[in-house]
Structure 1
Amino acid sequence: MEVLSIVLGGGKGTRLFPLTQSRAKPAVPFGGRFRLVDIPISNCINADFRQIYILTQFNSASLHLHLSQTYVFDSFTRGFVEILAAEQTFEHSGWYEGTADAVRKNFIHFRTQNPKYYIILSGDQLYRMDLKELLSKHRDSGAAITIATTAVSREDASQLGILKANKNNEITEFMEKPGPVKDISDFKIPAELRQDKNGKGDEYLGSMGIYVFNAEAMESCLANELTDFGKEIIPAAINKLKVNAYLFDGYWEDIGTIRSFYEANLDLTTLRPKFDFYDEDAPIYTHMRNLPPSKMNFSNMNQSIAAEGCIITNASITNSIVGVRTIIESGSSLNGVVCMGADYYESEIQKQQNAEARVPNIGIGRGAIVKGAIIDKNACIGEGCRIGVDAIPRVDGNYGHYYIVDGIIVIPKNAVLYPGAVI
C-alpha cells in the first residue's frame, strides 16, 4: 500500500457542546444532510486514497453507524473506512492522550497495511483539497514531513499553529497556538508572498492540521512519549528532519465552535457560498437514505436549503438550513436557523400517542417563529413557540430545554418545547 489515511476524531468536543452531547464531533450533522466526517473522507476518496482509519474515543456509536451504512467498498478495491476507538491492550491501558498518542497506540493496526506514506487529517474541518497533489508535492520535495498551510489573520492565528517557511517552502520555525497577546510579528508572511483572500488581513501562515509523513519518519517521530503533533512532534521534527509547507489557497474553515459551525452552515445558503457542494468532479459523499424529494406546500423560501424528505406547509423560510425529514407546519417562520431534521418519520400511532400526552410532534409546529438558532435532530417544537424573536438577553448557559452558546440558541437533540414556549 502506498497511502494510509488517518482522520483524527478529536476529543470530547466541548466547544461544540451540546451538539456533541450524544455523538462524536465528526458525526455532527452539517449542511442539512451531511456529517462533518464526510468532508475528509470524501477528499480521500476523490484522491483514490481508500484505506482510511477514523480515530475516536468519545460517543462513537453514532459515528460508527454512519460510517458502516455509508462507506461500503466492493471487494475489488481493497478499500475500507474503519473506526479505531481507544482500546485497552497489554501495552496501553488508557485513553488517547493527544493526536500523536492516538496514532502511536494504533501502530499495531497501521503496520499491517505497510504504507509508504501516512496522511493525517482532521475530522472537523470544511474544505476541498486535492490530496493527490499534496502527496505529489510532498514526494517531489524530498521532505520527510509536509504540513498543509493556509494564510490566516492575526485573530485566527491565536488558535492555530503558525510557522515560518523559506523560499523553498522549508519550515524553519513553528509555534503552536500563540494566543491573542504574544508578539508574533516576526512570523508575518513577507509582503511579496501574501495572498489575502478575504480582506481580513491574512498575514500569517497557519497549520491546517493536515500532515503527510513518510512511514519511516512517522515511526521515528513517535518513538517517544510525546502526545501532540502540533505542540510537540512537529516542533521537534523541524530540528532534525526536512519539513515542508504545502500552500493551500482555497476555502478552509475549522469547525471548532458553535459560532463557527452556525456561520459555516448559513454561508451555504448565500448566493456564492465559500464552500461549494455543487462540484461534480469532487463530490462530498454521505449516507444514501433513499428519501423522497422535499415537498413545499404554498411556502416562501428565500436563500435557503431544504434537504430531502421534508414537508413544508404554508411557511416562510429565510437564510436557513432545513435538514432531512423536517416537518414544518402551517404559519411557521424560520430566519437564520440551522435545522438538522429527524432520524425517522413518526407514525400515525405515535402522533396519536403524542396528542394524548399533549406532546408536540417532531418538527416545527403550527405558527412557531424561530430566529437565529440551531435545532438539533428529532426536536419537537410546539405550536406557537417563539425562539430568538423577543428581546431577551442571550447569556451563555444551560437553560434546561435549551442552551445558549456563543450567543446562539441551541435546541438539543430530542428536546421537547411545549406549545407557546418563549425563548
Structure 2
Amino acid sequence: MSLAIVNARLIDPATELDGPGAVLIEKGLISDVRVGAEASFEGAKKIVDAGGLCLSPGLIDLRVKTGEPGAEQKETLETASLAALAGGITSFVVMPDTRPVIDDVALVQFIAERARETAKARVYPAGALTVGLAGEAMAELGLMAEAGAIAFSNGDWPVASAQGMKRAMAYAASLGALVMSRADERSLSGSGVMNAGAFAARAGLSGMPVEAEWIGAMRDTALAEQTGCRLLLDQVSTLRTLEIAGDARARGAKVFATAAAHSLFFNERDVGDYLTYCKVNPPFRDEETRQGLIRGLKDGLIDAVVSAHDPQPPEEKRLPFGEASFGAAGLETLLPALLSLYNDGAFSLLEALRPLTIGPAELLGLPQGRLAQGTPGDVILFDPGKPWLCERGELLSRSRNSPFDGRRLQGRVMKTFVGGELVFAR
C-alpha cells in the first residue's frame, strides 16, 4: 500500500530541510519527498493530512534498558516498544545488562527474535563487552556481531582493567564495531548517590565527583587512539569530558559522545527533598554544567542524545535516597526534553532533532534517520508547541519512574509510522 502524508512541515536535519511539503511511502520505504505548500501525491491509496504538523524521521535511541530477559516486571521489549512509539522513537538499542547478560550469540538472537515477535519499533541488541559484565574475560564480540549485535557495551560498569579494555577495543577495531563506554573511575565515584558538591553535603548524601568521569574519559579516549577503535562515550555529564572527546577527535581518534536528555533538562537541585525519581547515574550536575552541556550540544560536541531509559519498579524507588536504585524512565520524554530547548529559543527545530535522528543513524550506520528516497518509511508527526502535563500514571512504560512526573512540558508526538504503517496515534 502507498501512503502519502501531505500538508506537513518537513523537518530533516540530514538535508537541513525545514519547510512545507509531502512524503510518499511505498512498500515500507520513502519513495518521494516533495517540497512546497501545494505538494501532493494524487495516486496514493491512502492520504494523511498532517494539518501543518511537523513531519520528521522517526527518532533513534541509542540507550534503552528493559528487564527482558530475567526481570520482566520492570519492562519487556513489548512495553518498551509501546512507550518508545508514543515518544516518536522508531528504533532503539537495547542494552546488555539483563539477567542473564546478553554476552553470547544465543542471547543476541533471542533479543532479535523476541523483538520481531512482540515489538513494533525496530530493536537492535547491544552485546556485552565482557562476560557477565564482570570486566574480566572479553565476550565473543565477533560471533555476536555476526548474530546482529550493533554495538558493544559494559552497561553501567566501566571495565576496571586498562589492559582488558585495550584488548576489547583492539578486537572491536578489527571488526569495525562501535564500543559504548561509561566514562567513570569507580574508585572515586564509589558509593556516591548524587553530584558531589555543597548541595550534596548539605543534604547529607555521598557525592559522585566530576573528576571520576574525566579520568575515565581520558583513559578510554587514549586507548581508542592507540587501538583505532570507534568509541562512544556514553552519557557524558560534564563539559570537560566533551572537551576531552573533542581533543581526541581533533587528533584523528574515532571518539564520539552522547548525553542523556534528562541531563540537559535538570540540575542537582531538582533532587529537592530527596526525590528518588531524580536519582540517576551519572547524576544531575550543577546548573553551570547543565548550561555547558547545552552549549556543547549546539556546538556539535554531542553526537546523539539518549533517553537513558532505565525502568525501576516502585519498590526499588520508594526507599530512602541512598538505598533507592538508580534509573529513570525516559522513552516518552526524550523528544519533549529536546523541544524544551527549541521552545526556550536555544535551538532551532533542526538543531533539536539532529541528535535524535541523523546523529545516531550515522553512528550505527543505519539507513533511517532521514527523509530520503529509498530509506525506511519511519516517520513521526508532532506538534512542537503542544503543552501537556507529564503524569506518571499515564506513561506506557511498565515502570514509570520518571523525573518529569508533574512537569509541564511542550511538544508531543501525535502519530508514529514504522515502515509506512501507523503504529501509534494520540
TM-score (norm 1): 0.29
Higher relative contact order (CA 8 A, sep 6+): 2
Which protein is bigger by CA-based radius of gyration?
Answer: 1
